[in-house]
Structure formats: structure tokens, C-alpha cells
Structure 1
Amino acid sequence: MKTTHTFGIQFIIRTGKKDKDTGLVYARITVETRRIEISLKKTIAVEEWNKARGMAKGFSPEAKKFNSYLEHVRSQLTDAYRELQINKEKITPENIKALFLGDSDEHTLIELVDYHNTTQTSVLSPGTMKNYRTTKKYLQRFLKSKFKSSDIYLVQINYKFITDFEYFLRNYQPLDHHKPIGNNGVMKHQERFRKMINLGFRLGWITQNPFDSYKLSFRKVDRGFLTEKELHNIETKELGIERLQTVRDIFVFSCYTGLSYIDAINLRPDEINLGIDGQNWIFSKRQKTNTKLRIPLLPRALDIYKTYRRHPKSISRDKVFPLFSNQKLNSYLKEIADLCGIKKNLTFHLARHTFATTVTLSNGVPIETVSQVLGHKSISTTQIYAKVLEQKISHDMEELRKRLK
């Protein structure tokens, strides 16, 4: 490890946008070509500041006291630099700053993560909060692996920390049954990490945002869906086991309504009422985005609703369907896929894709209507879910041939 570095300390002032006559004093630490600034939380009139020498002008008692304080700060920063040298620790501007601030009011990464998760609990959905808690676990594993520590000061987080965390996620080998994290999974963790760092920046806990130069790189993924034949096979399959029949029916209900797992499992009977056309509609809200849902019930979905609205397990929880956890439901769907000879990875979210693709768009429903029914805020989101099927292309072109004749 390199033991000698180009090390420098400079005092500067910065004025605000409105007040150009007074400046806030910063200590700028430079190691090699990297630098960081620490707000000393002291102000001085611009006309009283010697920019060239980085100190107060004159020899008044006030100027002498001010400059004495600056020299004391310089001494402490130099001591922090030497301590890192003696302990053979990595010498960076961030580490010098962290050592200088010591046990002051400097904030830590886990403190920020906990603050975010606490304040957002009533704002974000339980599913989203679960994802943030998972990101926290990976950050803690990374800190333990990389720094042999359970926490780190926010001032120590830089661009390299972010890219090292990305490398850690890409190469992390789970000890349980879970698969390694794919590219988009890594990017989702980085997206949540960035949101928390942005919060720290807005709170004033950090003065420079290390994510400013970092770009998320999601890869386009083909969304799976069931074909008309596969959906029919699932609908008509004699399963013989009550739990599988119930899970199948909830899944098929979602295929004909586009509801996500959480919105389907929490659907209440009083959220199904007569719509503008005199037919039964779902009047609800998406838990994920709090957007309104207005969904006409197609005949197959209506039949399933009538079957379960008086089910004892539904009545006991005042919901349309009995309760199944998402994990259990997906596990049972894999059993159903095997019984139906479907090779696709059958998960509950596949129902939402199937609704967008096979049930609506392929039957000529305009994408604007599908977007509204799905509760999307923009059509671009719907376009990710939806595919134009070869069958639909063939039908449309046949209609064109007839018109051209």
C-alpha cells in the first residue's frame, strides 16, 4: 500500500445565491487528485476574507481568533492524515474527513437507511418496503465483506463505493435456494440505494452526491404470458385438490381483470358494484401506486367472484378470496403448471401480463383502455407488459387484404 501521498488542506468560502456578501467557510482536503470539502459551519464577510491565503484579513482580535481556529482545524486534519499513515489504513479524503469528524454529528449509512425506512413506511406499500429492507441486508453484507464493519460514515461513500457494491451484488452467491441476482435485480438494489442517498443529500447529511455520475443500466426483458390455449388448459383442468382449485381460480380471475396479487387478495366485496353500463365493475385502488382502478368484470371473472363471495374463508376476512401468501400461491401455481403440461415459469404476475396481452390487446382492445384498466400512469408502462401476438397480426393483415380487394 502506498504510504506517501500528495496531501493538501485549503480553506475556501462559498456564498449563497441570495447573500453574496457573506461566505460559509469550508476546509478542502486533497489527496492526490481527489478532494472533498467539509463545512466548518462558520461564516465571514467576503470583504474580510483573504482568498489567496485562505484566511481572514488583518490583525484585529476577531481576525486573529478566526485564523487561530482555522490553524487548529488544519492541525486536526493533518493529525487524521498521519493516523491513517501510522495505522496503514487507506488514505482518502473521505477517510480523513470521517476521522476528523469522529463522534460528532456525522451521519452513517445505516442511520440513513433506517431513517428512510421508518419515514416511508406509511407512504410506500408493504411490498415495496420489503424490497428496501432486502437492500439494507445486502448493504450490511457488503459492509461486513468489504470493510469488516457494520456501518460506515456517509462521507466515506463515493463513486467507487457504489461500483464496488454493484460488483458485490453481481457476484454474490446465495447460500439458500435463491438464484444469483441478475442484472435488473442488481439495478433495482442500486435504484433503491440511490433514492436513500438522494434523501441524505436533501437532508444535508452529505454535501456531495456520489450517485451524480452513476447511471442505472436496466436490460429490456421479454414479459412472459399465457397463450389462449394455455389459459384454456388451466381454466378447464380437473385438479381434484381444493387448495389448487382455489389458487387456480384466483389466478384466472386476475387473468381476466389484470389485478396484481396484492390487489386481488385484498379485494373486498363492497368494491364490486354496478358501473355506468349496468354491469358489475371493480372500483378499487392499486396498493402499489394508489391510482384508481375501474375494471368491468368479464363473464369468467364474474363467475369466479360469485363462486367465492360466500366462501367461509372469504367471509371471515371480509374479502372476495381466501388468504394465500404470494410465496405459497406461486408455489402452488408451479404444481398447476406441471399438471397442465405448461413449461413456462407460472407466477401470479404472469396473470397480469396475460390480461394485457392475450385477453385484451390481442382481442382488439385499444392500448389506452388497457392502460386505464391496469392502473398505469402512462401508456409507456403498458407497452412494456403488452405484446402484439402473431395471431393478431395475421387477423389484422387478413382484414387489410379484404379491404384492398
Structure 2
Amino acid sequence: MNSPESENLPTKGRTRTNTISFTVELGNKPKKDGHYPLFLRITENRKHRRVYIGFDIPLKDWNPNKKEVRRSYPLHEVINKKIDSIKSDAIRLKADTKNVTSTVIAESLKGRSSAYFFQYAYSYIANKPYNTQRNVRTEINKFLEYVGNKELFFADITVKLLADYESWLRTKKGNTTNTISKGLSKIRTVFNQAIKEGILPVQDNPFLLIRLKEGKPERVRLTEEELKSFQEVALPQGSLLWHTRNYWLCAFYMAGMRFSDISCLQWKNINGNRLSYVMQKTKNTVTQSHTIQLPKQAEEIIQNYRPTKPLPTDYVFPILNPNKIYVTEADILKEISRKNALINKYLKKICFLAGIPKDLSFHSARHTFADLGRKKVKDVYAISKLLRHSKINITEKYLSEFDTDTTDKALESIFG
């Protein structure tokens, strides 16, 4: 049986044309994760063009003689099937197109967006921070649930498919406009990265023709009256409900501290009446310490947890297991996420007991602080620094969503 390469040899009696051959090879350089990209090499008159096949594999899992992925690699069947498919497409293009060149074949194959969307998406998030992995994977899994096909090509994802998917999210999943927009934006991120890496031509991006609709986010916060009810509702001392309220109130008093920072707070972060710590959530490679005066209300709560002789690295609050060793950052973030979900459930129970008809979460402590700060302090810069926002316009947008008092008072003035 002749190999595909044998079809490139000129036959006796035919007019000689440009010789074009195809072979599959690994790239010369590994990517950041150590995997090598797979290419279809198109050779014409000793000049090469390469088309990315859409997969990256470890060097040890490539058989250079058979030009295929070894069985040792989990996705060997899928990738080898893709190799056969793209070679067949290339040979067909060569046979069916008059005076075809390697450039035409390469551009045509690229134009078909022949990479598998889900394989690329999961590969893309593999080396991302844990929270990014979790958020993007959730949306990719949801999209996979809808299409039901792991071997979906980028080219198969059309504007119509995304519109149908949006309808499914709304009717079957009950997602809000804002949730749908955030989910689609994660899929758009995968497309943008594929274009950046040259896997997908920019004109094949369906998101160029889609405008994501963003609903106004509901930032749940407590009013001063509700905050008083939350503080005063009777809870059994030492119970998880009691601890949950303490965590939430401390976060509120400490300028809207995030749950990840509350969880990891250590005694070395508290020096007298000052609190100094490095935020868990940061996009900067160089982390910066944040320091504030510790309000007396927070100090009173913290005293419930202070042992006789605390070690500097001991956790202040009994949220994370002090005896557990977290090998990677992802391990500790996964545990924080699990604890956060549990605490949010108990916050809803506290609200029920306190007669507060709101879907309170731990992040609501941040919203409550921002709203109270807006009402009592007119210095947006000071509030911005306390909230640890990177830019003041973020704070301005954040606070504007709470500012219904101004419009309410205006209407009262007009209509009495």
C-alpha cells in the first residue's frame, strides 16, 4: 500500500508539476508546559510550511518513525485520528485544486480551524492559577454538556450554535443575563488565545459578530438596620453559626477583607492595633503588603480566638486545618473554595434566623463596607485604598451601583 508521500511523485508520461509532500512532525521548541506542538509540514520545492494540528504532547510520547503518538499518551487515539484527517484533507486539496501551491493548502487547512476546541481549551487552562482553572473549566464543562461532542472543531462553533447555547442556558439552566455573559466571555477567551497562537484565523472568530449582554450585577449588602439584626441575633456560642458570624463581621470591620485573606490570616499579621497582610487575590507578580488600623470591634472578636502563646504562623481563625500540609497553591485555594461554600450556606441560615430576606454571601461583607463607607465618608480615594482597588475608577463604578439614595431623595423633593 502506497504511503501518502508516494502520491507526490511525478508519474511517467505526465507533465511535471511542483512536487508537494506532507509529513507530521514535532515543533523544535517545547511550550512552557514542556509539551511539543504537532505540525503538518507541507514541502514544496524544498520549502516548508507548517500547519498546527491543534495538539501538544510530551517528547517521549512521539514515535518519529511511524509519525504517530505512542499508546503511552492518554489521547493517542484522538490525536492519531486527527493526524490522519488533516493529512487526508491536504491530499484531497492537492488532488482537487488545479495549480495548487503549498501556500494555498496551508491557508485552506488553517481556515478550517481544524483544532479540537475542548482539547485546546483544557490544555490552555492547565497551567493557569487554580481559581482561573476552576472558573473557566466550569464554563467549558457546561458548554460540553450542551454540545455533547468532545471532538468539536473550532470551525463548528458558529454564531447560531452560540445563540442556541445562550437560549439553553437561559431556559434549561435558569442562568441570568449576567451569568450567561460571564460564561460566554470564558469561551471567548479561549478563542482569543487560539488566535494569538496562530491556531485559528481571526476571521473565524464568531465572537466578532456577537455582543455579549451584561445585566446589572446585584451586589447584596446589609443596611444599617439589617446589620444590627445580624449582630444581635442569638446564636449558640462556639457553634459554626457563631463562628461564621464572627468571620463575616471581622471581614466587614477590616475594610471588606476577602474570605481567602481571612482564612489565611496569621498571628504575625497582627501587631498591636495594626493589621498587615499580603492579599491572596492579585494579578501582579510582585505582591504588596496591605496595612490598616485594626478597628476595636474586630479586636474584640479576635480576642475570642487568641491562645495563651500563639505562634506567629498559627492561623487566627479555625477555618483551615493547621495540621494539613498544602503542597501547592492550588491545594490551599481548593480548600479555601470548599470552606467558602460551606460558610455561605451558614450565612443564609443566620439571615433566616435574623429575619433578613437577603441571599447573603461572605463577599457581601465587602459590599456592605463599601456602601456604608460611601454614606459616611466622602473621600472616594480613601475608600478605594481601603478596598484595595488597583484604580480609583473601579471604586467609582463600584460605589455608583449602591447610590440609590440620591435618586430617591431627588424624587421625594420633586413630588413631596
Query: Cα–Cα, structure 1 residues 113 and 309, in superposed 2: closer, same or farther, change >3 Å?
Result: farther
Shift of 1:75: 4.1
Query: Cα–Cα, structure 1 residues 116 and 251, in superposed 2: closer, same or farther, change >3 Å?
Result: same
Shift of 1:108: 0.5
CA distance in 1, matches of 2:150, 2:209: 26
Matching residue of 1:280: 274
Alignment of 1:4-403 (within 5 A): 73=93, 75=95, 106-120=114-128, 124=129, 126-144=130-148, 149-173=149-173, 180-208=174-202, 209-241=205-237, 242-257=239-254, 258-273=256-271, 279-287=273-281, 289=283, 292=288, 293-310=290-307, 318-323=314-319, 325-358=339-372, 360-364=373-377, 366-386=379-399, 387-388=402-403, 390=405
The one-letter code of the counterpart of 1:226 is: L
CA distance in 2, matches of 1:154, 1:137: 16
Shift of 1:305: 2.4
Matching residue of 1:90: none
Q: Which runs of 5+ in 1 are unaligned?
A: 1-38, 45-68, 79-96, 174-179, 395-405
The one-letter code of the counterpart of 2:357 is: K
CA distance in 1, matches of 2:311, 2:350: 26
The one-letter code of the counterpart of 2:376 is: N
TM-score normalised over the length of structure 2: 0.61
The one-letter code of the counterpart of 1:283 is: Y
My pick for the range that moved more, 190-199 or 290-299, is: 290-299
Query: Cα–Cα, structure 1 residues 371 and 155, in superposed 2: closer, same or farther, change >3 Å?
Result: same
Matching residue of 1:12: none
Shift of 1:368: 1.3
The one-letter code of the counterpart of 2:381 is: E
Shift of 1:296: 2.6
Secondary structure at 1:212's aligned position in 2?
helix
Query: Cα–Cα, structure 1 residues 273 and 43, in superposed 2: closer, same or farther, change >3 Å?
Result: farther
Query: Cα–Cα, structure 1 residues 207 and 40, in superposed 2: closer, same or farther, change >3 Å?
Result: farther
Matching residue of 1:50: none
- Note the alpha carbon deviations across 1:340-380, whole angstroms, 9 max, x for none: 1111112111111011112x222215121111221212233
CA distance in 1, matches of 2:364, 2:90: 63
The one-letter code of the counterpart of 2:213 is: S
Query: Cα–Cα, structure 1 residues 132 and 71, in superposed 2: closer, same or farther, change >3 Å?
Result: closer
What number of residue pairs does the alignment pair up?
A: 291
Q: Is the 8 A contact 2:248 2:362 kept in 1?
A: yes
CA distance in 2, matches of 1:225, 1:198: 35
My pick for the range that moved more, 158-167 or 323-332, is: 158-167
TM-score normalised over the length of structure 1: 0.63
- Note the alpha carbon deviations across 1:92-150, whole angstroms, 9 max, x for none: xxxxx78998xxx9420111111111121xxx3x3332211111211111221xxxx22
Q: Is the 8 A contact 1:98 1:153 kept in 2?
A: no
Q: Which runs of 5+ in 2 are unaligned?
A: 1-39, 46-88, 99-107, 321-338, 410-416
Query: Cα–Cα, structure 1 residues 392 and 171, in superposed 2: closer, same or farther, change >3 Å?
Result: closer
Across the aligned residues of Structure 1 and Structure 2, the Cα RMSD in angstroms comes to: 3.6
Q: Is the 8 A contact 2:274 2:291 kept in 1?
A: no
Query: Cα–Cα, structure 1 residues 108 and 392, in superposed 2: closer, same or farther, change >3 Å?
Result: closer
Identity of aligned residues (%): 25
Matching residue of 2:11: none
Secondary structure at 2:206's aligned position in 1?
coil
Q: Is the 8 A contact 1:272 1:282 kept in 2?
A: yes
Q: Is the 8 A contact 2:245 2:347 kept in 1?
A: yes
The one-letter code of the counterpart of 2:132 is: T
